[in-house]
């Protein structure tokens, strides 16, 4: 029925469901884990793998199949009760724990959380014990995939080379606006940060500066794409979940693209090289894209 219902009917149903969930927000469980990015780094695939585990609760209502309410940036002004309304109730978790002997987990996945500066502190203020999962991808391929996502959605009129050249102007003043207004949302910072978003070191340092290292798992998207089940097993072990054979490993949000301009690829590779090296030194971890 959801697929054939008119838009107005869906909107009314969604509004009624959300109103009920907000009314019961005090009975709902804040996330045990967050998948925070990077964008075009496998967050959607990993989320869809995790919700197949019987001890990972989908977001409420399950019929909407959402992975995040985008609370900690664009919806931050809606408040804690609205955020809580997206998760399972404690009673639901109690029933499942009694049935299976294991406490189920709640979570969400939003690739902008890692990059948007205020999110780490906002998460710490509400959920200091939550577990954080970062999926990092070859920053050159990430930038190009990010561009093609925007181009295919009609939000990028420039070529990739033009967009890279325009990035600094598009971002001009946006950090200052975000710092001045806790409710300001910058589309330029979210949508057109093709190059800067692949500079992972300051993003990782921001989260490591607030959360204990044992609460943060950093994986390479390439490992997830190469062996979904092995990476999935690593993630559920980090979350403290019982072993579970992933029944369906389907890559989500894959976007085909033409080959990148070799000169552009070479320039980006050199640009990211020192940033990649610094990240590896910090984490004492090598990544598949390093050369």
- List the Cα angle 85/17/14 in 5-degree steps: 110
Write down the pLDDT at residue 248: 78
How far is Cα 271 from Cα 153, in angstroms, rounded to an integer? 27
Q: Is the peptide bond before 38 cis (omega within 30 degrees of 0)?
A: yes
* Nearest residue to 36 via CA among 103, 118, 135: 135
Q: Is the pLDDT of residue 8 over 60?
A: no
Write down the pLDDT at residue 252: 80
How far is Cα 33 from Cα 25, in angstroms, rounded to an integer? 18
Q: Over the stretch 112-155, which tens digit does the pLDDT of each residue have?
A: 999 999 999 999 999 999 999 999 999 999 999 999 999 999 99
pTM of the model: 0.94
Q: Is the pLDDT of residue 249 over 90?
A: no
3-state DSSP assignment of residue 56: strand
**254 pLDDT tier (thresholds 50, 70, 90):** confident
């Amino acid at each position: 029925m959801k697929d054939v219902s008119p838009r107005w009917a869906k909107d009314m149903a969604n509004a009624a469901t959300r109103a009920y969930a907000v009314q019961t927000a005090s009975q709902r469980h804040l996330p045990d884990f967050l998948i925070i990015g990077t964008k075009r780094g496998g967050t959607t695939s990993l989320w869809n793998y995790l919700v197949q585990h019987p001890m990972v609760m989908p977001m409420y209502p399950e019929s909407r199949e959402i992975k995040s309410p985008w609370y900690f940036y664009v919806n931050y002004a809606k408040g804690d009760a609205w955020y809580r309304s997206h998760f399972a109730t404690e009673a639901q978790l109690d029933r499942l724990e009694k049935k299976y002997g294991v406490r189920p987990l709640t979570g969400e996945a939003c690739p902008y959380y890692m990059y948007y500066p205020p999110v780490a502190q906002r998460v710490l203020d509400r959920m200091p014990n939550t577990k954080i999962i970062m999926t990092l991808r070859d920053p050159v391929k990430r930038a190009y995939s990010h561009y093609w996502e925007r181009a295919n959605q009609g939000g990028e009129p420039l070529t990739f080379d033009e967009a890279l050249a325009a990035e600094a102007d598009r971002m001009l003043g946006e950090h200052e606006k975000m710092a001045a207004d806790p409710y300001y949302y910058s589309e330029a910072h979210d949508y057109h940060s093709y190059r800067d978003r692949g500079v992972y070191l300051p993003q990782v340092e921001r989260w490591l500066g607030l959360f204990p290292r044992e609460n943060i798992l950093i994986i390479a998207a390439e490992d997830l794409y190469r062996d979904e089940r092995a990476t999935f097993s690593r993630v559920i072990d980090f979350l403290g979940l019982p072993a579970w054979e992933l029944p369906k490993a389907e890559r989500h949000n894959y976007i085909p693209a033409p080959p990148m301009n070799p000169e552009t690829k070479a320039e980006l590779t050199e640009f990211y090289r020192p940033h990649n090296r610094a990240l590896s030194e910090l984490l004492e971890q090598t990544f598949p894209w390093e050369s």
